[in-house]
Structure 1
Amino acid sequence: MKDQLTRVYNRQYLNLIKNNLNVQSKFALIVVDIDRLKYINDNFGHQMGDLIIKGTADILKQSVRQSDWIIRMGGDEFLIIVTDCNEAEVLKIVNRIKGKVAAWEHPIAGLSLSVSVGYAMSKRGLSFDEIFTLADNNMYEQKRGYTRLF
């Protein structure tokens, strides 16, 4: 149920959570995508890419509450499920993530970590998958505005 590289939950565990999560309760989904991971893998090797992925997972662990779930969705994408929350609490988590990412020290000079983050609050009448799509679309909207180069 845990991703071997990052030690956060994997997609298989997400399926269990989805089935047990009350979509009528207040929760938020935060999608975090590592910017330019392909560039890092292609130019610095997959070991460096793995270091970036682990570093991102560690930042996420430091940024969320104990009751929140972090799931590695795939290569460079994470999902955070924040339960019993309001939008102000979610924004605090998002801002903590962004602050810790900006302060992250990388062992290669000139190589920095950057992530795109999107979130969506639960809404009555929307399924988990619909809320995820909203959060994912918000993340991609931020990613389109990303212009920082390594």
Structure 2
Amino acid sequence: MDKETLIKLLRKKDDMFKKLCIEKEKLNYYASTDAMTGVLNRRSGLELLDKELTFSKINNKNLVVCFVDVDGLKTINDNFGHQEGDRLLMNTAEILKDSIRKTDFVIRMGGDEFLVVFPGATIEEVHKILNRINLRLEESNKNNNSYSFSLSYGFCEYKKETECEMTLSDLIKKADLEMYKKKLQKKKEL
């Protein structure tokens, strides 16, 4: 085999390798992302959250999770169709993604439930982010005369000094319970 043929073969091999790497990245993206909302899917999101919790325990860092539920999605689906409900879920994911810090991430847990993870944050910092989310919700409602768009949410803050035995499941359950309490309180106020 002459030198030119060898160079052509090596270039072809490099091109194929680059294409395979791009395809692998695409497959990883599709395997870890919720197809409708573009946020992390439950499986990959919980894997990442588990790593963040372990990191927080090892490095004595705070971690806050926020369990988010879209209020009245079933009613919206029933009254305006599932396409509108899907649009609402996509809008929710977009608002959450656009409002958080670069180090934070959003997980679609399923249906109308999301989990927002704030590595290294305190509950006070998260409340500032929540204010940005609420402003975006208000903006969205100004442009929508058909129904009111709202979220219920609950937080759980991991602090090594007080929560060293907390598991991933405990963290999510506490945030979910807080969200449920707020959701019930909203219903009582109506």
TM-score when scaled to structure 1?
0.91
1:67 is displaced (CA, Å) by 0.7
Aligned to 2:51: 20
Partner deviation per Cα, 1:35-69 (whole Å, 9 max, x = no partner)? 01000001110000011101111110111001111
Given the alignment, which residue of 112, 120, 140 partners 2:148?
112
Within a 5 Å distance, the mapping from 1:1-150 to structure 2 comes to: 1-21=32-52, 22=54, 23-24=56-57, 25-105=61-141, 108-122=144-158, 123-147=163-187
Structure whose residues are more often helix by fraction = 2
More RCO (CA 8 Å, sep 6+): 1
* Larger Rg computed on CA atoms: 2
> Structure 2: how far apart are the matches of 1:31 and 1:64?
14
Unmatched segments (≥5 aa) in structure 2: 1-31
Runs of 4 or more, structure 1, over 2 Å off, are 105-108
Q: Which amino acid aligns with 2:34?
A: D
Q: Which amino acid aligns with 2:37?
A: T
Cα separation, partners in 2 of 1:76 and 1:46, compared to 1, 3 Å: same
TM-score when scaled to structure 2?
0.73
Partner SS state of residue 146, structure 1: helix
1:19 is displaced (CA, Å) by 3.8
What count of residue pairs does the alignment treat as equivalent? 149
Q: Which moved more, 1:104-113 or 1:35-44?
A: 104-113
CA contact (8 A) 2:50 2:168 kept: no
CA contact (8 A) 2:69 2:153 kept: yes
1:98 is displaced (CA, Å) by 2.1
RMSD of equivalent CA atoms: 1.7
1:32 is displaced (CA, Å) by 0.8
